[in-house]
Amino acid sequence: MIQVLLFARIQDEVGQERLEADFAGKSIKELKRWVEDNYAVSSLTRTMTAVNEEFAADEDQLKEGDTVAFIPPVSGG
């Protein structure tokens, strides 16, 4: 299983702080699409992703036991 940590607006939209998903061997892009489709989350295309506390690209493959964090863009002043 993959642990998915959610922050800011993504957490608000899903209504949970974390998810579990069986995505070992699949890409981050596939995981993002699954979250968007199954939790009615607005686009995750501009969302930064970290895997095991290291920034990762959408093409990176996930492994069993990974922890993925979706970090949306933040604005402020």
How much is the pLDDT for 76?
A: 59
Tens place of pLDDT per residue across the chain (77 aa): 999 999 999 999 999 999 999 999 999 999 999 999 999 898 898 899 999 999 999 999 999 999 999 998 876 55
State residue 3 phi and psi, 5-degree precision. Answer: -90, 130
Question: Which CATH superfamily, name and number, covers 2-71?
Answer: Beta-grasp domain (3.10.20.30)
Residue ranges of domains in the chain: 2-71
Return d(Cα 77, Cα 54) in angstroms, integer. Answer: 27
